[in-house]
Structure 1
Amino acid sequence: MDTEQLLAPEDTSPLGRSRTSVLDMLRAADGPLGVREVAQRTGLHRNTARFHLEALVEAGLATRETEDRETPGRPRIGYQTVAGGPAGQRRYRLLAEMLTSLLAATMPEPGRAAEEAGREWGAYLTEQPPPYRRLSAAEAIAKLTAIMEGLGFAPQVQAGDRDGEYRLCLRQCPFREVAQHHKDVICSLHLGLMRGALTRMRAPLTAERLDPFVEPSLCIARLTAGKDAHADEPAAERTR
């Protein structure tokens, strides 16, 4: 991969729709907004809202402040945009390439390690339904689609070749350039993320596999209903 390409800022929806929406909300607010306020206004899960807010802070687009309070309790953390934008372009693509190549070179099973990490993050970013509440396959797919969109993809659901099969078409991978050189790591991470999210939902379907780059900007996740999606729960779930 060319060094100049790695250092070039992203030019194809680098923030993704959900993160852009959160940024626009902060810009329009009269003062700092908390995670709860952002989650309520956007319809995102609190963990997902916090994930986007912290990413905006890391990108230099927002600041985080702990607000003083006169009553007992945990201080409120507020987020607001940075006047004038970031001081300089952050080199996240280069950082992703460096960390991914390190994982691929030093781990005995980098794909497996990446999938496990994806499972943990997928569970963290997903809201668990109330006890005894079972989602339908359609509800679970809708929630999974929203999660993947929030992470920067442009997902679209299609029916599979047989009953109970679905294709989640993932376009605009936010790590496409890195994934082209390290599919085993990046694609395993995304597959694990989907599996962790479905397990957290107690969804009646399984992410069977992820077919990367069936087209230059398209990957397809194969989902199957009626399978036991909870046989191999992420560690975060086992400890609850």
Structure 2
Amino acid sequence: MPRRVDDYRGLAQASRIRLLDAIQSQPGILLSELASRTGLHENTVRDHVRVLEDRGLIVSRATPQGTRGRPPLGFHPVRDASANPVARSRIERAAEHGDLLRRLVPCVRELPAEALHQLDVLYEHLDDAGLEPEIDEASLIVRLRPCPFYPLMDDEDEKLVVCAVHQRLADEILHQVPGPLEISAYRPFVTPHECRIELRDTTAVATA
């Protein structure tokens, strides 16, 4: 399937990965705080967060400071897709595409529609990030190639940031779609050429 022209754009620079990590770690963080934390100029930060917001990865909200004048914007991860048009459109598109494919190829495991749509959205997100996901519906294991942005980071601590950002994004994506699946384990570099996400069906756990 051909990639969309804006695939990878949201996380295509190391600076955006650092900014997204800061926003995930401190929801509501202000532009000035992002600049201070990352060492980037505020204008540069403003450009990067605009791209992240356009891709539906973050959302900005006014943050009252108890002073006169326009309140500054605080930046948050997207938790509720219904309040974010980009995230909502992504979910709808992924579910429609998944339903179409399932009419052509039967599922290996009987999963409720909500769980299948969670997998649809997770697959599209991971595919857009260049991770080439392979989802085993029977075992609920997602196999990934290592992140193409991993080499962009300068040292080992920053490389850990890449893994943390992907883990939190995958978790946020799953929670944006109502359904029983959640991440039980995120295992980077199980081999030099593979990372892995292990999912859990909470309804199966509850009835076990």
Pick the TM interval, shorter chain.
Answer: 0.3 to 0.5
Structure of higher CA gyration radius: 1
TM-score for both structures, normalised by structure 2: 0.47
Which one has the bigger helix percentage? Answer: 2
